[in-house]
Amino acid sequence: MPDRGFLRLPARNRELALIALALLIATTGFAAVQLARAQEFAASPLIAAAFFAGAYLIAHLVVRITLPDADPYVLPITAVLTALGLIEIYRIDATLARDQGLWIVIGLALFVGVIVAFRDIRRLETLRYTCGAVAVGLLLATIVLGSEVNGARLWIRVAGLQIQPGEFAKILLVIFLAGYLRERREVLAAPTRKLLGIGVPALRHSLPLLIIAGASLVLLVAMNDLGSSLLFYVIALAMLYIATGRLLFVGLGAGLFAVGAAAALQITPRVQTRIDGWLHPWADEQAQCCYQITQSIYTIADGGVLGAGFGRGLILNSGGGTIIPYAQTDFIYSVIANEMGLVGATAVILLYLLLAWRGFRIATTADDGFSKLLAAGLATAVAFQVFVIVGGVIRLLPLTGLTLPFVSYGGSSVTANFAIAGLLLCISQRANRARA
Amino acid sequence: MNRRIGNLFIVLAVGLLGLIAMTTYWQVVARSSLEARQANVRLVYRDLAIDRGSIISSDGVTLAESKPGTLDGRTVYFRNYPTGGLAAQLVGYSSLLAGRAGLERSLDPELTGSTSDLAGVVNSFDRLKGDTVRGDEVILRLNAAAQKVAMDELTKLGVRGSVVVLDPSNGGILVMASTPTFDPNTGLEQALSDPGSPLLNRATQGLYPPGSTFKVVTAASALDAGVVTPETNFPGPSCIDSGGQKLCNFRDRAYGPHSFGYALIHSINTTFAEVGADLGKDQLEATMRGFGFFARFPWDYPPDQSLPSGIFNRRGNLIDPSAPIDVPRIAIGQERLLATPLQMAEVATAVANGGQIVQPEPVQEVRAPDGSVVRRPSPVYLGRAMTTETAATLRELMKQVVDEGTGGAAAVAGLDVAGKTGTAETGTDGKNDAWFIGFAPAEASRFAFAVLVEDVDGTGGDVAAPIAAAVLRALTAQTT
């Protein structure tokens, strides 16, 4: 379909056509699960699908009015991803799917709120220190007030809701770093003294790097989760690299983190267990180290190239729970790989690649440093998070407690990622209008 | 800055493509080897999709059945054993935890409809389509009522033991009891580690010194070889010297001059030791082979659960009879001779059958899900253990064992029972393995049996013969 004719269409019409395609996928998927599983016809999934469609169409209309020149692919990509996630969550548990549907609607509302509020993205730049402070506050709150789920301290309870402040702190941190680095990048980039023949910035300028490394390690220990701390650290390093162009920072930073993490592992037994499970999953498949990861691998392998089909895989055990614990959150990719096969799993990864590409493209077309850093930082956040969580469930990396953006069950994750999508569109609007 | 943004994108893109590569590895390259892993619960769940056929006794009692349940939106079948421990070793189990054993294992292709014939091929297409595969139903020769009596008798005494009853005309297994037993529904995990070895099918895996029941084999060999006739006279002292060691009668009893027939009826060791010496190793070994010793019966049961009987070395390995052995002691069922209850039931079967050895057969009929008969095994004769004349002679003598000899406790009103007692020393002081083998009625026999009770104070005549009588009463009550 995307031939020259399609590309010549106005951006918003392309967006609408692609959203329609996403809705077609969603409806087909729901119908397939319904056919595969339910003994009798139920109207609720159709109502949910209609609700889902309505929410996306409203979001599209708001974009059409407020950001007419913004990137037309970001929103449809999120539509396909949220639809696939919702279908698989529905397939696991209809009640969870109802919640997730609600979170998607709330996420889209936040998306609309973001694009209305930050239509002019430069307004955000003035809020950079506020964002930084709130980010730190959120992370501190998680550490102090947090409750452990599956061993990791990533959640806090507010008014009966489990929220994952890290997902929001991540965005606020990117905003802060984008503002801070735009301001300081010249000083950070210019070496002022030589150490062992290598130019390094003055101590007070390299202080941020050290602070970031230290804070990430503190997070690793306090949250008991390698994934989150690695994600924060990589986002910061990536933005530092873009701002300064100094690969040395990246190398130095990676080394610092590796050494620090190796030391920190001694006091975080859960992370140690995860690393054992990563290195020797078959040693004792029933043990805590290895049960989740081996079940994940069996589930993925079972899908084969074409998959079992929506609702036709073997995901639940005889008690009605999922065979892989946390299948709807951490291991949703394994479920997708099982039911949609290699074809579907590849499509999902390619959608993220496409999303990252749009994000980086928005970064390159933006005409100010803040926008560039912000777009690149947000795109990195999404792409690297996908890499870490999917890498974990396929045993490319140790298992971590991150969510698969837009797909995993969970309100914090879904709404935070919609905020990212909104910010990307706002940056894109400004960049495209400037070019037009 | 744009160049650096491009570089970063390339790095992240490589990472994401790496995810696709690794997913491809699991789903394409490693898929089949993962599928074959024992710990893969999916393997087990896949088996649950098959509506495994029922196992039913000849008197209509369901011993194993599949009960539908749901698993992730699909119908699956969980195995249920309504009679619990009644015939748990023979029937075996098909379990998520412990795999399969017994008939559940040996008849698995039929029970799961995965035979290599046309029906199996049709079923494999059903499986591909995702339709439920229904296995064949198996009707056993087993008589559940008599099996229950056998189990009750053994359990009542609180002993480890076994009762085997065969139909001499076709080898059909009418009773195969083994105690202690286990409940395959709930007790499997515990049974795996139980020191009483309830999973062991003592009828086919239990090896015991046959004691005087083996005199039937020695007598068959001697009569066939013409070494003796029933009338041949023997002196009957309390003890004789055999290979430099004393070999004595039970409780050192002296009998005085008597015939060979009398020696069998009263189980006189000294006489049989002398006969054994006269027969020689080669002759006795040939007869034993004819009765099925030194090989496992090639019947429809997992090979590792049906052991051969014979002469074993200290490490428990079957030894070649050409090795140095004390033939007179073998002739009275001692030395390193060990036999399964199934083997000794086959000895009785051969006498009842005019000398023919018939293959043990658990199955009466296999029925397809549509009710049509897939298989109805016909008797398989494995050869001749003795001449018809010798069998007739032994039949008469064994009848007298019950009428006037050591086996009086096996008498059943209205039924001519023939038999032979055995009381084998186990090596533990005062403890014996008590045996009674035989058949009934004496003419045109319908039941041939072996009863074994491990480690008891009493003799075969005291302990084992009454159990045989009780089981025979149950069998005749059923069939008349």
CA distance B360 to B172: 6
Pure H helices in B251-387: 260-265, 269-279, 281-291, 327-331, 341-352
Measure the CA angle with vertex A400, ends A389 and A271; round to 5°. 155
List the catalytic residues of B. 212
- ipTM rounded to 2 decimals: 0.93
Best residue of B12, B95, B128 to probe chain A, by most A CBs closer than 10 Å: B12
Residues in B 117-176 with any Cβ partner in A closer than 8 A: 130
Q: Tell me what the mean pLDDT of segment A193-215 comes to.
A: 65
Is residue B86 a contact partner of residue B101, using CB atoms and an 8 Å limit?
no
Put simply, the answer to whether B12 touches A376 (Cβ < 8 Å) is no
* Residue in chain A lying closest to B4 (CA): A242
B4 chain-A contacts, CB cut-off 8 A: 241-242, 245
**Chain A: nearest CA to B39, how far in angstroms?**
7
CA distance B331 to B218: 6
B40 chain-A contacts, CB cut-off 8 A: 298
Which is it for the CA torsion B341, B346, B349, B350, positive or negative? negative
The residue assigned the tokens 């590849």 is A346
pLDDT given for residue B69 in this prediction: 83
pLDDT digits (tens, 9 = 90+) for B367-400: 999 999 999 999 999 999 999 999 999 999 999 9
B392 touches chain A (CB under 8 A): no
Is residue A153 a contact partner of residue A268, using CB atoms and an 8 Å limit?
no
A294 chain-B contacts, CB cut-off 8 A: 39
B220 touches chain A (CB under 8 A): no
Q: What is the pTM of this model?
A: 0.71
Return the SS3 of B172: strand
Which is it for the CA torsion B198, B202, B205, B208, positive or negative? positive
Beta-strand runs (E) in A116-192? 147-149, 152-158, 161-163
More confident call, A152 vs A413: A413
pLDDT given for residue A195 in this prediction: 61
Q: pLDDT above 70 covers what percent of chain A?
A: 91
Put simply, the answer to whether A356 touches B13 (Cβ < 8 Å) is yes
Question: Hey, what's the torsion of the CAs at B175, B180, B184, B188, to 10 degrees?
Answer: -150
Environment class of residue A65 by beta-carbon count within 10 Å: exposed (0-12), middle (13-18) or buried (19+)? exposed
Would you give per-residue pLDDT tens digits along chain B (480 residues)? 889 999 999 999 999 999 999 999 999 999 988 887 767 777 777 778 889 999 999 999 999 999 988 788 778 888 999 999 999 999 999 987 778 899 999 999 999 887 767 666 666 666 655 667 889 999 999 999 999 999 999 999 999 999 999 999 999 999 999 999 999 998 888 888 888 899 999 999 999 999 999 999 999 999 999 999 999 999 989 999 887 888 899 888 999 899 999 999 999 999 999 999 999 989 999 999 999 999 999 999 999 999 999 988 877 777 776 777 888 999 999 888 999 999 999 999 999 999 999 999 999 999 999 999 999 999 999 999 999 999 999 999 999 999 988 888 999 988 999 999 999 988 777 789 999 999 999 999 999 999 999 999 999 999 999 999 999 999 998 654
pLDDT given for residue A434 in this prediction: 74
* Residue in chain B lying closest to A377 (CA): B5
pLDDT digits (tens, 9 = 90+) for A310-359: 888 888 887 778 888 888 989 999 999 999 999 999 999 999 999 999 99
Which of B110, B21, B89 lies closest to B377 in space, CA to CA?
A: B110
Which is it for the CA torsion B277, B280, B285, B290, positive or negative? negative
